[in-house]
Structure formats: structure tokens, C-alpha cells
Structure 1
């Protein structure tokens, strides 16, 4: 997979990389998927921010078959990742105000950047917490019939002397 030797130079020189990545290569996603199939496309662009800071814009598209948390069947989830990240040196001291600023996302980098890992990270951040089909019921709920209250027999004992 593609690695960027110097992420800071990549951003400074406004370089662009793009490609596709097989879902089978995204191992941290496997537990969330109904099946390990398909591929995603990505586009990474470097640029300088308003204050001259090194920035990356990552877009990821495609669809992945997430497992519904109710029926465990596949949900065709359309990826639409569009992340803008400010590159900072790994171990950089950021102020509390910088860390709490929701308008900025930081990407700590030594120098080299693994693009596949970055793509997988951003996909994981974009996924719903508990994916499920619209109107999906619990497994086996459709033929369960009337629900029996386990305390119904106790209602007959109410008010009787010991």
C-alpha cells in the first residue's frame, strides 16, 4: 500500500494521491461487516491552510456491507468521507483550546504516513454506532405471538391470606 515518506512536504507541495483499497485489506472493519467484499476509492490532497499550516483533505467513497445490529443481515452503507486534517508533529504540545476546537482535526505524524491506515481510520470514524435497517425488528419477533407476562400467575395470589 501507498506510504507518504514526508507528509509535511506532501502538504507543502500540494501533492495529490488517489487509488482504491480492497475492503479485505481493512482488517479493523471486518467485525462490523456482514461480508468482507468490495473496495473503496480514496483521494488524498495536500495543501497549506490559511495560516500556512500543512493540511490534508481525504475523501473516501464506495459502499460497504455493514451487519445490521438487529437481524445481522447486510446493510449497503454508502461511504461519503470528506475529512480535512491539520498535520502536526507527533508529540506536539497542543493547548487545551486547540484540542477543544471542534472546527479543527489534527493528525499527529512523525514524518511518514501510511495512507491505508489513514483511510481505515476515517472510515471507522464515519460509521454509525449501531447500524440497522429501517423498521427492522428483533430476530424471530414476527412469529413470536402474544407475549406472556411471567408475573401473571402472581396476580391471582394478590389479596389472599397466607
Structure 2
């Protein structure tokens, strides 16, 4: 898999990389999948931001078979990752205001960047917390219309002689 030797130069020189990545190579995803198969396509573009800061634009597409949290069967999930990341030195001191700014996503790197790891990270961030089929419903939703009163049997006994 591709490694970028200098992420800052990659962004400064407006380079572009693209390729595919096998789902089987993304081990942190395996526990979330119904089956480990297929591949995803990705593209990484470097550029300079409005303030001259090094930026990366990552897009990832493809379909992965997530495991339904209710029945454990496959749910085809279409990836639509589209991330803008500001490259910062790994030891950069970011202010609290910068960290809380929701319009910016930081990518701390030493110099070298593992593209496969970045792609997997961004896929993990894009996944639903608890994927489920529509037909599987929410936990506790089954029979929600028929609410059973646990004291109904006691009410029937009330007033009956011993």
C-alpha cells in the first residue's frame, strides 16, 4: 500500500494519489462486517488552504457489508467519505479554540503518512453506530402497541373472596 514520505510536500505540491484497497486489508473493520469481501476506491488530493496551510482532500467510495446489530445479517452500506484534513506536525500545540472549531479537521503527522491507515480511519468515522435493517426495528419496539400492565392480574383478584 502507498505511503507518502512527506505529507507536507504532498499537499504543497498539489499531488494526487488514487487506488483501491481490499476490505480484507482493513482489519479494524472486520468485527463490524457480516463478511470480509470486496474493495473500496479512494483518492487523495493535496492542496494549500486559504491561509496557505497544507490540506488533504480524501474521498472513498464503495459498498461494504455491515453486520446488522439485531440479526447479524449483511446490510450493504454505500461509503461516501469526503474529508478535508489540515495537515499539522504531530507535536503541534493547537489552541483550545482550534480544537473546538468544527469547521476544521486536523491530521497530525510526523512526515510520513500511511494512506491505507488514513482510508480505514475515515471509513470507521463514517459508519453508523448501530447498523440495522428497517425490518429489525429498534430494541423494545416489538409489541410496543400492546402494553401489558403487570398489575392487571392483581386488579382481577381485587374484590374476590378468599
Scaled by the length of structure 2, the TM-score of the pair is 0.87
Q: CA deviation at 1:34?
A: 0.2
Determine the C-alpha separation between the residues in 1 that align with 2:50 and 2:147: 62
Q: CA deviation at 1:135?
A: 2.5
Specify the SS of the correspondent of 1:93: coil
Corresponding position of 2:19 = 19
Q: What RMSD over aligned residues (CA atoms) do the two structures have, in Å?
A: 2.5
Corresponding position of 1:47 = 47
Per-residue Cα deviation, 1:103-162 (whole angstroms, up to 9, x for no partner): 000000000000000000000000000001113248xxx9xxx9998877666666789x
Determine the C-alpha separation between the residues in 2 that align with 1:151 and 1:25: 55
Determine the C-alpha separation between the residues in 1 that align with 2:158 and 2:80: 59
The answer to whether the 8 Å contact 1:8/1:87 transfers is yes
Corresponding position of 1:87 = 87
The answer to whether the 8 Å contact 1:33/1:74 transfers is yes
**Off by >4 Å, runs of 4+ in structure 1:** 146-161
Determine the C-alpha separation between the residues in 2 that align with 1:94 and 1:24: 35
Gaps of 5+ in 2: none
Specify the SS of the correspondent of 2:132: coil
Gaps of 5+ in 1: none
Determine the C-alpha separation between the residues in 1 that align with 2:39 and 2:91: 33
Corresponding position of 2:61 = 61
Determine the C-alpha separation between the residues in 1 that align with 2:137 and 2:99: 40
How many aligned positions are there? 158
Corresponding position of 1:4 = 4
Specify the SS of the correspondent of 2:111: coil
Specify the SS of the correspondent of 2:18: strand
